[in-house]
Amino acid sequence: MDISLFWIVFALLGGLVVIKALYVLGAVLALPTTGGALFCFTHYSKIETILDEINMKSNDVVFDLGCGDGRFIASAAKRYNVKGTGFEINFFAYFLARLRLFPLRGRVLVKRDSFWKADFGEADVIFCYLFPDIMEKVAGKTKKEMKEGALLISCNFPLPGWCAEKVLTADHPSQKDPIYIYRKKA
Ligand SMILES: C[S@@+](CC[C@H](N)C(=O)[O-])C[C@H]1O[C@@H](n2cnc3c(N)ncnc32)[C@H](O)[C@@H]1O
């Protein structure tokens, strides 16, 4: 093998190893707060399905509970010009979200903090893709704090004790998990 090709392959593989190590370290350090909701992405087909269904207004405030790399909130801000806050406790995901959301600064904010500390009453739309073990707690906080008429969208996992207004599925062969839409009623 050509020596320069060797170094290119070596650098690429080394980069992949470093990224994987950062991913694992981020997940491990965040574990006490996440309760098992690991950093993984919502597929864009699901995000498009949600944004096609829900018409947001430009003065709506969107919260993303555990925003990962910020893809949902970025897509919502680009399509509807909404304001938003993403909460992300995993340092690696937070870093990716900061990069992605940099061009949207001023409208969209990402906080390296737990969403359990946030006031859900400030949001018109809440998005989450979390983990079954913590959905009961999310349901309780939502019931207590979310304002009347506000929406909560949960990818994959239902909110215990709540009745979904709609359940969507993406038009993609490998992305058929349910997307639950809840509205806070009086
Ligand atoms: C399954 S991922 C979803 C990421 C992103 N919302 C998406 O749909 O692509 C769940 C994310 O929630 C974050 N998370 C879990 N509990 C959290 C908490 N209490 N506060 C902030 N972030 C949290 C995790 O670090 C993880 O990145």
Instruction: Report the pLDDT value the prediction gives residue 2, as an integer from 0 to 100.
Output: 80
State pTM to two decimals.
0.92
Q: Is 42 in the pocket of ligand 1 (CB under 6 A)?
A: yes
Which of 140, 149, 151, 139 lies closest to 181, judged by CA?
A: 151
Reading the block at residue 183, the tokens are 């509205």
Instruction: Report the pLDDT value the prediction gives residue 139, as an integer from 0 to 100.
Output: 97
- Looking from the CA of residue 90, the nearest atom of ligand 1 is 25
Contact 131, 36 (CB under 8 A): yes
Among 28, 88, 157, which residue has the most ligand 1 atoms within 8 Å of its CB, making it the best to mutate?
88
Instruction: Report the pLDDT value the prediction gives residue 1, as an integer from 0 to 100.
Output: 66
Query: How many helices (H) does the chain have, and how many strands (E)?
Result: 5, 7
Element (H, E) at 62: strand 61-65
**C-alpha distances in angstroms, 17 versus 10, 12, 107, 130?**
11, 9, 34, 26
Residue type, 154: S
3 state SS of 58: coil
Which of 71, 51, 73, 70 lies closest to 62, judged by CA?
A: 73
Mean per-residue pLDDT pooled into runs of 10, the chain (186 residues)? 85 92 90 90 98 96 98 97 97 97 96 97 98 96 96 98 97 97 93
- Looking from the CA of residue 127, the nearest atom of ligand 1 is 6
Identify the structural domains of the chain with CATH numbers, from first to last: 44-183 (3.40.50.150)
Backbone angles phi, psi at 119, to 5 degrees: -95, 105
Going by alpha carbons, the residue nearest to atom 4 of ligand 1 is 68
DSSP string, 122-163: G-SEEEE---HHHHHHHHHHHHHHSPTT-EEEEESS--TT--
Residues paired with 155 in a beta bridge? 179
